[in-house]
A and B are shown apart, each in its own frame.
Chain A
Amino acid sequence: MTINYQTALWQRLSEHNLVTGEEPEFTEDSAPWYVRTMLGIAGWVSAIFLLSALFSGIAMIVDSALVAGVLGVIACLLAIVIYRMAKQSDFLAQFGFAISLAGQGLLVFSMLKGLQLFEGGEAFISQVRLLALMLAVLQIILFTTIPNFLHRIWSGIIGIGAITFLLIQLGLYPFTITILLAAVAIVWLQEFKWAKYSSMVQALGYSLVFVCFAHLITDNHVLGFSQFWQETFSVTPLGGAWGSSLAAFLSGGVLIAVVGVMLQRMQLEPMSGKGVAALSLALLIAIIGIRTPGITIGLVFVLLGYAHGNKVLLGIGLVTLVVFLSQFYYQLNFTLLQKSLVLFFSGIALLVIRHLMGVFWSQLESNDA
């Protein structure tokens, strides 16, 4: 029945001259998100045990950065071979994931030992930066060479996390979250255009979303994250006291740009009734987002997810909104009174807009027609 379904879909598209060539062979879904999550958790646990076996079994690893590094490289290469040779085997894919994670663990251990990070010292900051750079390079190699969604998500998250860390070290904090959000928007908006590389684009898109979410939550939860960077890594936040608000405002700009692209795709003029209404709503949310950046970020995820029929991305956006609000309570750079006023009046404004939308939408439709 599933095969028939795909055939029917192919024929339907064929009738409209939207497909070319022979109908592709039937392929099953590699796995829905929850099976992939289950495999990811299990792969991670098995890698920890594999690493434990290596460290407890081969004393040389603990003593020598070189041995750990060589074994790490061999394990990563082995994982690449396993993944490329057996794309359809779940057993080998799971085995490859554990081998790869163990190899990466060994490489990180080797780097830590080689850079003498365990000993501390004055060069600590530059060594950590070098470690992040090496990690980013390693993950870029693994991302491009291992053709597996789960592994690409892992490499994407670690690699983008390392690059974000380096951007912060370059003094771009707190604008790093806006950069990440812009990257999220660009990658997902180009999903259809770059469909030739769909599996890579999707993995990259989800990884960016996860790192952006993590940036938001850690920023929000740990008061004065900027203070943390300043005290630990001597990095002065860009823009001083206004930096965070400006970054949040620029994130609002990303939201407005996303809405603009969507209007364009629906062939609606920005100056048409619906265009003005949509852009005004986006602007209002961008203004609300200056104090509550998580709302802007969550809404960008939600809009991208809905526009592309991607329920997982839509769900992540909704979770971002709820998690942000629960974390926002503990943010100490605003009083609870300020936060309550922003939230309450923003909520009322959105409800009023909803009501107006119900009243005027059909009127706009007739005007735009």
Chain B
Amino acid sequence: MRKNNRLILLEWAEQSRIDGSKLPQALRLTDSIPSGADWRYFLDKLLLALGALLAVSGVIFFFAYNWDEIGRFSRFALVQGLIVLTLAAVWALGLEKITGKVALLAAGVLVGVLLALVGQTYQTGADTFELFAVWCVLIIPWAFLSRFDLMWLFCLLLLNIAIILYYKTFGGFFSVALGAEQLLWVLFVINTSALLVWEWLVQSGTSSRRSVRWMTRLLATVSGGLITALAIFAVWGDELFNSLPGLVGWIVWMLIAYHWYRKVELDVYVLAIGVLSTVAVSNVTLSRLLFDSLSFNGSFGFLLISLSVIVVSAMGAVWLKRLGSEGQS
């Protein structure tokens, strides 16, 4: 795996190939540390993100305080006024600019505050999951308009929360209570669909992959984590009918992820998630075999599992490093 310039230069300095006093100059020459112009760009983005985050958090905290001295009309006027204000900012700035997109995201967050205020004021009796679901539905058109990754991510987060709350309220979906696996399956399908759509968008050239690699990685981590949990449930489960889909789903996920992120679009991070998942599932399977099926003695069984974890993870690391080197060639 190729090191970035910074790490190469630090290593050379450690080997006394670069004098410590000349290191900053070498780092500047190789663009490893920011220039004055870079600082300006960075501070601009940092102040925008931090300012928006603090201001919107302040509004959320304010309405959570539920101040009695402010009447209900004033409260509604305040939150609606803020929504109008942020939308006016969007209109003035335009959605091509990052500031406009951030303003629309802020408006999207404020919609949730408004919905919470409606529930708080009129005691509608609605379940909490409904708030998140309606919130998500209401701001989806804005997500389409803004074409802003963070806005889509926010919608996905709201959807996940709505599903989890629904499950907590009713204990299952469509009047069928099948345990925690059911919730994991639903979340897996939704987040994996989001990953597939994202990959399709990237491949069709709608997004610049370079700037949004973190999105692929985040979605793949969630999707991979959920299917790994399902596979582990499957290995520990006693009923074959319930267990099989989890294992089959995991194998299919691993094969597709391997094909896509190894052959089509190399992404060592996602493959590292796959390796960690393999370490987990293979060793849970080994534990089940040793302690349940073969009734092994505890001590020897633990030792075998420990060695197995070491071997599988180290093999995985060697493979990942080799892939990383290939990716740079």
Which residues of A lie under 8 Å from residue B25 when comparing CB positions?
16, 18
Q: Is the CB of A32 within 8 A of B36?
A: no
Taking the closest CB of chain A, its distance from the CB of B261, in whole angstroms, is 13
Residue of A38, A54, A194, A329 with highest tally of chain B CB at under 10 A: A38
Chain B 16-39 residues near chain A, CB threshold 8 A: 16-20, 22-27, 29-30, 32-34, 36, 39
Cβ of B23 and Cβ of A192 under 8 Å apart? yes
CA gap between A42 and B275 in the complex, in Å: 10
Contact, CB under 8 Å: B55 / A35: no
Nearest-Cβ distance from residue A39 to partner chain B, whole angstroms: 6
B51–A337 CB distance below 8 A:
no
Residues of the B chain whose Cβ atoms lie less than 8 Å from the Cβ of A344: 54-55, 57-59, 62
> CA–CA, A295 to B25, complex, Å?
31
Contact A13 B30 (CB under 8 A): yes
Q: Which residues of chain A (153-187) have a CB below 8 Å from chain B?
A: none
Q: Are A308 and B33 in contact (CB under 8 A)?
A: yes
Q: With A20-B17, A50-B306, A329-B61 as known contacts, state yes or no: A321 contacts B50, CB within 8 Å.
A: yes
A-contacting residues, B258-310, CB 8 Å: 268-269, 272, 275-276, 279, 283, 298-303, 305-307, 309-310
Whether B168 is near chain A, meaning CB under 8 Å from some CB there, is: no
Contacts of B55 in A (CB 8 A): 343-344, 347-348, 351
A198 touching B11 in the complex, CB below 8 Å, given contacts A50-B302, A90-B314: yes
Minimal beta-carbon separation of B83 from chain A (angstroms): 15
Q: Which residue of B lies closest to A96 (CB)?
A: B310
Known A42-B309, A195-B10; contact A343-B61, beta-carbon cutoff 8 A: yes
Interface flag for A240 (CB, 8 Å):
no
Is the Cβ of B317 less than 8 Å from the Cβ of A302?
Answer: no
Q: Does B318 contact A (CB under 8 A)?
A: yes
Q: Does A245 contact B (CB under 8 A)?
A: no
Q: Does B43 contact A (CB under 8 A)?
A: yes
Determine if A118 is an interface residue (Cβ-Cβ < 8 Å): no
Q: How far is the CA of A73 from the CA of B314 in the complex (A)?
A: 25
Interchain Cβ contacts within 8 Å, total number = 268
Determine which of B6, B61, B313 lies in contact with A340 in the assembled complex, contact meaning CB atoms within 8 Å.
B61
Given contacts A31-B317, A340-B65, A343-B61, contact A310 B29 (CB under 8 A): no
Min C-beta distance of B60 to chain A, whole Å:
8
Question: Is A87 engaged at the interface, CB distance under 8 Å to the other chain?
Answer: no
Q: Which of B153-161, B169-177, B321-329 contacts A (4 or more CB under 8 A)?
A: B321-329
Q: A196-B16, A302-B46, A357-B44 are in contact. Are A347 and B51 (CB under 8 A)?
A: yes
A241 CB–B CB distance under 8 Å: no
B6 touches A2 (CB 8 A): no
Inter-chain contacts of A222 with B (CB < 8 A):
none
Q: Is the interface of B mostly helix, strand, loop or mixed?
A: helix
Task: Find A42's partner among B36, B50, B51, B276 (CB 8 Å cutoff).
Answer: B276
Chain B residues lying within 8 Å of A46, measured Cβ to Cβ, are: 305-307, 309-310, 313
Q: Which residues of B contact A24 (CB under 8 A)?
A: 11-12, 15, 17
* B42-73 interface (Cβ within 8 A of A): 42-44, 46-48, 50-62, 64-65, 67
Residue contact B59 to A335, C-beta cutoff 8 Å: no
In the complex, whether B252 has a CB less than 8 A from a CB of chain A is no
The answer to whether the Cβ of B210 comes within 8 Å of any Cβ in the partner chain is: no
Inter-chain CA distance A341–B19, complex, in Å, is: 50
Q: Report if B8 contacts A (CB, 8 A).
A: yes
Which B residue's beta carbon lies closest to that of A102?
A: B306
Q: For A120, what are the chain B residues with a Cβ–Cβ distance below 8 Å?
A: none
Contact of A195 among B13, B46, B52, B53 (CB under 8 A): B13
Within 8 A of B (CB), among A4-24: 5-6, 9, 12-13, 16, 18-21, 24
Q: Which of B1, B11, B13, B60 is within 8 Å of A31, CB to CB?
A: B1
A306 at interface by CB-CB < 8 Å: yes
Taking the closest CB of chain A, its distance from the CB of B219, in whole angstroms, is: 15
Closest to A89 in B: B314
How far apart sit A43 and B12, CA to CA, in the bound complex (Å)? 29
A1, A6, A29, A348: residue with the most chain B Cβ atoms closer than 10 Å: A29
Q: Does the CB pair B5–A9 fall under 8 Å?
A: yes
Assess whether B313 is in contact with A38, with CB atoms less than 8 Å apart. yes
List 9 interface pairs A-B (beta carbons < 8 Å), by A numbering: A28-B325, A38-B279, A42-B310, A94-B310, A195-B10, A309-B27, A341-B62, A347-B53, A357-B44
**4 interchain residue pairs of minimum CB distance:** A344-B58, A347-B55, A347-B54, A57-B299
Q: B interface vs A, CB < 8 Å? A: 1-8, 10-20, 22-27, 29-30, 32-34, 36, 39-40, 42-44, 46-48, 50-62, 64-65, 67, 268-269, 272, 275-276, 279, 283, 298-303, 305-307, 309-318, 320-321, 324-325, 328-329
